[in-house]
Amino acid sequence: MNRVHPETLLQVEDLHLSFGANAVLRGVDLAIVRGQLLGLVGPNGSGKTSLIRAVTGLLPVAPGQVRIAGIDLAVDPLAARRQFGFAPDPTRLPPALSGRQALSVAAAARGLDTTPASTLELAERLGASRWIDQRIETYSLGTRQKYAILIGLIGDPPLLVLDEVMNGLDPISSHELKLELIERCERRHCGVLLATHGLEIAPTLLTDAALLHEGRIRHRWGSVELGHWRHADPGAFERAVVAALRSDPAG
Amino acid sequence: MALSPTNPDLLVRDFLRHNRWSQWRARTAETAFSALALLVFAGFALWVGDSLWTRLLAPGTPWARPLPAALVGVATAFAIVARARSRGQGLARVHASDWLAAMPLPAGARRNARARLVGSDAALWLLGVWLTLAWAWLRADQSAPVLVVALALGSLGGSAIAWLMPGAPSEPAAERIQRRERASAVAIAAGTQGLRLLGAALEPAAARLPRSAPWVAFAFLLFPQSTPLIAVPGLVLLFTALTLSLDLIGHWHVRYLADQAWLDAQPLLPRHLFRAYLPYLTRRTLVLSLIFGACLHVLGAPLLFALALTVMLAAAVADAVLCGFATRRAPGRFPMLLILHGVIVVATTQVLPPALPLVWLGCALTAWRQGNR
Amino acid sequence: MTAILQISNLSKTYASGLQALKPVNLDIQRGEIFALLGPNGAGKTTLISVICGLVRATTGSVLVDGHDIQRDYRSARSLIGLVPQELATEMFETPLATAAFSRGLFGRPPDPALIERVLRGLTLWDKRKDRIQTLSGGMKRRVMIAKALAHEPRVLFLDEPTAGVDVELRRDMWALVRELRDAGVTIILTTHYIEEAEEMADRIGVINKGELILVEEKSRLMAKLGSKTLTLQLQDPLALLPPELAQWQLTLKDSGHVLEYRFDTNAEENGIPGLLRRLHELGIGFRDLNTEQSSLEDIFVSLTGKRAEAAA
């Protein structure tokens, strides 16, 4: 197959967003290439969730440009959306459907006939399959979170957009999820954008990290730095983030 | 058109239907009981309606003339379109930010799904209206009563528009309602008076729900032919009071369920939450039933009769609210319980009218105890 | 000593056939901190929801200070406070309003002095008039706790109090829970972090797949399971363990590049300084060392392993 494989999966250029007089994003530039697992870190209220919502087309932005695998999200939203998977807010999952039914609906939305076996297998690994035929309204937050992640990963899209998905996951499942994300990036050349405030997980999972503060990307760390911190003590990355925030003239 | 069964929104609908069906099957006794209550109610409606149709379709009524009949047809079309529109807008609001909002769905897929969901709803209405009309036509003496033709055409036209109209949200309206709800939430918080102020939130919520006002137009059908023009405002007021009472129950019920959903994380006593709405409900019910009774009296009903009907209206609203309270854990049973209470009350009026207050009290007490469980 | 919470034969089976909770028997003592430890979906939230009256039990009963949660639900529920996982406080703008409102929810008369005490105790008093939205995640969680405490409950349930909370806030939360206990509140919390259970609880119950596998005093559980592993990344690979190191429980891994030492955290002498000294004397250099505590997974493996042995 001679399909074009663009190297850059996400390209955000000069993205602005305001709610009324309140400017949340003030010119964000961000890129993710294949194989990159980029952590979006930043203090509460720094605009992480707004950026995620803008990247997935849930918030209209102007001015600015979002390209997913080379496709402009504003020009061809359908083709752009085929290139990424997004884990929805776990509290928004349909309460009266079972987990299995929600997965079939998500599969249908991605043009698949049935829920892929790999998704069900991942549900098993995440320890979520015990509840699969139970209505979502009876799930705890952690189990809901797992189904939201499964929905985001369904159909193996090249780019994964995940917002605070590690929240509330037990250590076993968050380890399984880490393995899955790393496997997708290394073997299948996917890219991941992961917004997180849990800095402990960062060095062991991410290949890249970007600090969002006051509506702009203030600092970016590459795989070399993160690799270095991986073997240092767990607080090293946290200290680096705090140092970057302190040295930020805007902060 | 992307109207394959793989349209995710239609798949959700199918799954919901399936889940509801298996729930019904799991509770056989309850389902049988509800079906029975529905049948009794339908029988009662047939019995009342039968005499109504003969009177309405008698030759010489204004509705036998083309222009008034056409007006009724247009009102029908309007009511159907208004209902479909508000439903489509509600769905569009949900679709804008729900769990499938970021999925790669073709531009028309969700709009089509909305049209299908709203359209099948409109089709059901059309079927209901036409069945009623077929029955009326059978009862009529003429071969093609003008009113029946007008209603048939009106409902068909209304349903057609509802089918073709994609449910587009009117953003400014949605924002306005959100702002008002927010303001009332702030008002509640500022008061820190606890639950009492939840009732205050009913006011903006009332603005959001579809009004049954278009249906007032149909009240004209029921006016006797000899109605003097001067009595018409009184009659209109009377029917408005009735429909507003219906709205009152509807708004309260939606709000009550929503409030309960977010307050349920609290180990909260059911009656404390319920009590919160009582001042608002009492005030409204009193005003509406007094207007209703006063209109009756002014229109010539004896004082005692008008008073009795005033009390009955207030009692009916109170009973409906209690039914909502009783079914708070399974809101699907709300209409069933209402119908059941309706059948009991009507049966009592037919058999032993003086026992009515006692029977009503019995119904109300049962509902109250059920709700407190 | 009377138990403040008596759970007997409590189970929950959903219509789909899922046994979310297998029959549970458990007594919670007055004034203790009890941690319910288990992975997501194990039934922790189901158990709490049943006790708090949000979900109806299939079998069994719960007594809260002698009051049955179904027959005498009013007294039972007024003794219980619940801090749920989700931060659902959008409706109410300020911490003060939220706490005062919540007291109203339980039909208690307003008591500004008490609300002030609760908010001060949670260091929320200075922020009582701030909008909740503008507060940090940890502060929001404190607002949820203030809300649950506003009607003076005797038993407080904390459903994953530190999920999504960073390390520093987690420590604050632990201190806070101890203060509450000292003020006489019995605390039941769920967690999937073993260090959290170890840090806070007097007793720990381990739950997995709807079954309460064991309930144990913390110290005894930790003695059973509290082994740690010290991993040394060696500079030069070792072909064999030198006999000089025989007194330590060592294993060579990764074709001689990694040396692992398992030691008991509860032993007075863990032997690490001696081991490091001896390695130095032998000229065995290492690039990196780190310690790893037994994880939740290890505990489950060892528990289920032990159960299998017992059955055999």
H or E element, residue B94: helix B66-95
The answer to whether the beta carbons of residues B3 and B116 sit under 8 Å apart is yes
Query: Is the CA virtual torsion A115, A118, A122, A125 positive or negative?
Result: positive
Same domain, yes or no: C151 and C190: yes
CA distance B363 to B341: 7
Structure tokens at A162: 């995940």
- pLDDT score for B2: 38
Which of C167, C202, C223 marks a domain boundary? Answer: C223
Any C CB within 8 A of B272 CB: yes
- pLDDT score for B273: 76
Same domain, yes or no: C219 and C240: no
- pLDDT score for B51: 77
Determine, for residues B19 and A81 on separate chains, whether the beta-carbon distance falls below 8 Å: no
The answer to whether position C310 is within a domain reads: no
Smallest Cα distance from A48 to chain C, Å: 14
| Residue appearing with tokens 């939430």 | B185
Same domain, yes or no: C18 and C97: yes
Determine, for residues B265 and C84 on separate chains, whether the beta-carbon distance falls below 8 Å: yes
Query: Any alpha helices (H) in chain A, and if so which ranges?
Result: 48-55, 77-82, 99-109, 117-125, 141-153, 171-187, 202-205, 223-231, 236-247
Determine, for residues B192 and C100 on separate chains, whether the beta-carbon distance falls below 8 Å: yes
Structure tokens at A86: 């997004």
Same domain, yes or no: C234 and C218: no
Whole-Å CA distances, B214 to B75, B165, B346: 7, 19, 27
| Residue appearing with tokens 């149909």 | B218
Whole-Å CA distances, A227 to A162, A230, B177: 22, 5, 51
Percent over 70 (pLDDT), chain A = 91
Smallest Cα distance from C172 to chain A, Å: 16
Chain B CA closest to residue A133: B19
Same domain, yes or no: C244 and C183: no
The answer to whether the beta carbons of residues B286 and B244 sit under 8 Å apart is no
Q: Which of C15, C97, C105 sits opposite B189 (nearest CB)?
A: C97
- pLDDT score for C59: 93
Residue A91 has pLDDT above 80, yes or no: yes
Chain C CA closest to residue A164: C164
Determine, for residues C40 and A173 on separate chains, whether the beta-carbon distance falls below 8 Å: yes
- pLDDT score for C241: 81
CA distance C147 to C156: 11
Same domain, yes or no: C79 and C171: yes
The answer to whether position C149 is within a domain reads: yes
Determine, for residues A109 and B101 on separate chains, whether the beta-carbon distance falls below 8 Å: no
Determine, for residues C40 and A171 on separate chains, whether the beta-carbon distance falls below 8 Å: no
Q: Where residue C279 sits, what CATH number does that domain have? A: 3.30.70
For residue C274, the number of C-alpha atoms closer than 13 Å in the C-beta half-sphere is: 11
The answer to whether position C309 is within a domain reads: no
More confident residue, C296 or B371: B371
Kindly list the residues from chain C whose CB atom is less than 8 angstroms away from the CB atom of residue B272: 105-107
Smallest Cα distance from C171 to chain B, Å: 26
Kindly list the residues from chain B whose CB atom is less than 8 angstroms away from the CB atom of residue A137: none
Kindly list the residues from chain C whose CB atom is less than 8 angstroms away from the CB atom of residue A170: 38-40, 192, 296
- pLDDT score for A9: 93
Q: Where residue C116 sits, what CATH number does that domain have? A: 3.40.50.300
CB atoms within 10 A of CB C196: 21
The answer to whether position C64 is within a domain reads: yes
Determine, for residues B11 and A110 on separate chains, whether the beta-carbon distance falls below 8 Å: no
For the stretch B187-200, what's the b/e string if a residue is b when 16 or more beta carbons lie within 10 angstroms of its beta carbon?
A: ebbeebbbbbbbbb
* CB pairs < 8 Å spanning A and B: 69
Which of C206, C223, C240 marks a domain boundary? Answer: C223
How many domains does one find in chain C? 2
Q: What confidence tier does B184 reach under pLDDT thresholds 50, 70, 90? A: very low
Query: Is the CA virtual torsion C218, C224, C225, C226 positive or negative?
Result: positive
Any A CB within 8 A of B112 CB: no
Q: What confidence tier does A89 reach under pLDDT thresholds 50, 70, 90? A: confident
The answer to whether position C312 is within a domain reads: no
What backbone torsions phi and psi does residue A110 show, to the nearest 5 degrees?
A: -95, 10
Kindly list the residues from chain C whose CB atom is less than 8 angstroms away from the CB atom of residue A128: 40-41
Residues 6+ apart with CB under 8 A from C222: C198, C265, C266
CA distance C193 to B87: 46
Q: How many residues are given for chain C? A: 312
Stretches in chain C below the pLDDT threshold 70: 1, 87-93, 164-168, 223-228, 264-270, 288-312
Q: Which of B11, B98, B107 sits opposite A78 (nearest CB)?
A: B107
Determine, for residues A143 and C41 on separate chains, whether the beta-carbon distance falls below 8 Å: yes
Least confident span in A20-24, B159-163, C113-117: A20-24
The answer to whether position C199 is within a domain reads: yes
Smallest Cα distance from C284 to chain A, Å: 20
- pLDDT score for A149: 96
Same domain, yes or no: C237 and C185: no
Residue A98 has pLDDT above 90, yes or no: yes
Percent over 70 (pLDDT), chain B = 78
- pLDDT score for B77: 87
Determine, for residues A131 and C164 on separate chains, whether the beta-carbon distance falls below 8 Å: no
- pLDDT score for A69: 92
Q: What confidence tier does B209 reach under pLDDT thresholds 50, 70, 90? A: very low
- pLDDT score for B192: 36
**DSSP code of residue C84:** -
Determine, for residues C85 and A141 on separate chains, whether the beta-carbon distance falls below 8 Å: yes
Kindly list the residues from chain C whose CB atom is less than 8 angstroms away from the CB atom of residue A145: 40
pLDDT of B269-306, one tens digit each? 677 778 878 888 898 899 989 999 998 888 888 889 89
Query: Any alpha helices (H) in A15-94, and if so which ranges?
Result: 48-55, 77-82
Whole-Å CA distances, A85 to A158, A192, B276: 8, 10, 44
The model's pTM: 0.77
More confident residue, B316 or B234: B316
**Structural domain harbouring C86:** 3-223
DSSP string over A62-79: SS-EEEETTEETTT-HHH
Same domain, yes or no: C166 and C247: no
Kindly list the residues from chain C whose CB atom is less than 8 angstroms away from the CB atom of residue A200: 166-167
The answer to whether position C85 is within a domain reads: yes
| Mean pLDDT, rounded, of chain B | 78
Q: Which of A44, A166, A169 sits opposite C137 (nearest CB)?
A: A44
| Residue appearing with tokens 């010489």 | B60
Determine, for residues B6 and A110 on separate chains, whether the beta-carbon distance falls below 8 Å: no
Q: Using CA atoms of C73, C114, B263, C31 in order, give the dihedral in degrees to the nearest 10.
A: -50
pLDDT of B83-139, one tens digit each? 787 778 778 777 877 899 889 888 788 888 888 888 888 888 889 888 888 888 887
C-alpha closest to that of B275 among C112, C69, C106, C110: C106
Determine, for residues B19 and A82 on separate chains, whether the beta-carbon distance falls below 8 Å: no
Any A CB within 8 A of B100 CB: yes
Determine, for residues B269 and C74 on separate chains, whether the beta-carbon distance falls below 8 Å: yes
DSSP-assigned beta bridge partners for residue C250:
C261
The answer to whether the beta carbons of residues B368 and B319 sit under 8 Å apart is no
Same domain, yes or no: C274 and C194: no
- The ipTM assigned to this model is 0.85
Select the highest-mean-pLDDT range: A21-25, A192-196, B252-256, C301-305: A192-196
CA distance B220 to B209: 24
Helix (H, G, I), strand (E, B) or coil at A200: coil
Same domain, yes or no: C269 and C133: no
Chain B CA closest to residue A78: B104
Pairing of strands A65-68, A71-72: antiparallel
CB atoms within 10 A of CB C298: 15
Determine, for residues A106 and B12 on separate chains, whether the beta-carbon distance falls below 8 Å: no
Q: What confidence tier does B186 reach under pLDDT thresholds 50, 70, 90? A: very low
For the stretch B284-314, what's the b/e string if a residue is b when 16 or more beta carbons lie within 10 angstroms of its beta carbon?
A: bbeebbebbbbbbbebeeeeeebeebbebbb
Smallest Cα distance from B105 to chain A, Å: 6
More confident residue, C246 or A217: A217
| Residue appearing with tokens 């806030």 | C169
Any B CB within 8 A of A100 CB: no
| Residue appearing with tokens 């406080």 | C89
Average pLDDT over residues A24-41: 92
As to burial, measured by CB atoms within 10 angstroms (0-12 exposed, 13-18 middle, 19+ buried), residue C27 is middle
Any A CB within 8 A of B98 CB: yes
CA distance A237 to A208: 12
Same domain, yes or no: C45 and C190: yes
Chain B CA closest to residue A54: B102
- Rg (Cα) of chain B, in Å, rounded? 23
Same domain, yes or no: C71 and C203: yes
Query: Helix (H) and strand (E) counts for chain C?
Result: 10, 14
Q: Which of C53, C92, C107 sits opposite B189 (nearest CB)?
A: C92
Which of C197, C223, C249 marks a domain boundary? Answer: C223
Residue from A76, A86, A105, A161 whose CB has the most chain B CBs within 10 Å, to mutate: A105
Smallest Cα distance from B97 to chain A, Å: 7
The answer to whether position C30 is within a domain reads: yes
The answer to whether the beta carbons of residues B313 and B242 sit under 8 Å apart is yes
Kindly list the residues from chain C whose CB atom is less than 8 angstroms away from the CB atom of residue B198: none
Chain A CA closest to residue C44: A140
